[in-house]
Amino acid sequence: MSAPRIGVLALQGDVREHLGALSAVGADPVTVRNRAELDSVDGLILPGGESTTISYLLDELGLADPLRARLAAGMPAYGACAGMILLASEILDAGSGTRVAVPLGGVDMTVRRNAFGRQVDSFEDYLSVAGFDDPVHAVFIRAPWVERVGADVTVLARAAGHPVAVRQGAVLATSFHPEVTADHRIHALFVAIVTGRA
């Protein structure tokens, strides 16, 4: 079986780190910056970064509606931090003016941006994640949390009483950044989702 072709949305954020983690777990990682590249992938990672900027660039480059359509059609996706925010169906504190984070609707959830605080409030923890035997090293950087999940959403991990890792069907999202650690189990889980093994 050939390696799944998994895209990393390369508009802003930890693109290189996600590409490296995907390579480490046996995927064929590629960058996605346009419609043709989006159409060529089996799954997509939306990395961390600034959610309002990524949302603005998706719209400017004509990628927002095609991405929504692919998500609605069942394309597997994984969002980390800003990616989690964008995959939500509702975003609290979404921004103001022309820079607003617009939800893509991949997961039936309400997410609050910067819920854990500012950059100086960033922290690391070890979290119990459903399906994993050992705790996951989780790095939170100006991280969101989930305030509401729909009936079809599975909460995989919590921090400070709030969901910080969720899954709905083929869509996975975390508040934290596994790509900046040596623990690639979240990426391995996503590859398993893409290939139908999870």
Residues catalogued as catalytic: 81, 177, 179
Q: Is there a binding annotation on residue 142?
A: yes
Q: Is there a binding annotation on residue 112?
A: no
Separation in Å, CA 11 to CA 8, 34, 123, 148, 188: 9, 10, 25, 28, 23
Q: Is there a binding annotation on residue 50?
A: yes
* Total Cβ atoms within 10 A of residue 5: 14
Q: Is there a binding annotation on residue 2?
A: no
Q: Is there a binding annotation on residue 113?
A: yes
Q: Is there a binding annotation on residue 33?
A: no
The annotation places the binding site for L-glutamine at: 49-51, 113, 141-142
Q: Which residues are annotated as a binding site?
A: 49-51, 113, 141-142
